[in-house]
Amino acid sequence: MHLEFVRIEEANDLLNQLIERHPNAIFVANHDFKIEYFNKSFIKLTKREKKDILGKEFCEVLGCTYRGKVVDVDNKFCERCRMRELLSGANVSDLDMIREFKIHNQIVTKHLRFTTNQVIMQGKKLRFVEIEDRTQKH
């Protein structure tokens, strides 16, 4: 099937609807690793309110229990943070992570599969991240 759009707005509307209804969590992060966009599934995964997500770092939003333990002072990330490597686009575009996260003041072990791509929106290079929660599958 091949879709042809008369106007760019039609394509944007369809893309936004697909992202918003996607069953996997999706977010878009900027070069400072801050979240600029996310879908409803991301809210469900993180169990956070919208105001507690936008402009925050992924590890902060999901409550990564490694965060702050071995910190790179310049960047305030764990020195060997795989999420940082993933979001920077450095040699990693897919990542499986089994890690403990603090969600709603409870420590929860999650098995997450991350897939990323670079996108350019309004002239800014961003990372588009899809998260599949594989926790219940194991």
Percent of the chain with pLDDT over 70: 83
pLDDT score, position 38: 95
Q: Over the stretch 30-69, which tens digit does the pLDDT of each residue have?
A: 988 899 999 999 999 999 999 999 999 888 888 887 776 6
User: What pLDDT score was predicted for residue 135?
Assistant: 92
The residues spanned by each domain of the chain are 24-137
pTM of the predicted model as reported, rounded to 2 decimal places: 0.81
Hey, what CATH topology would domain 24-137 get?
Beta-Lactamase (3.30.450)
What are the structure tokens assigned to 116, written together? 């990323």
Q: Are 56 and 35 in contact (CB under 8 A)?
A: yes
Q: What is the pLDDT of residue 23?
A: 95
pLDDT of 71 reads: 54
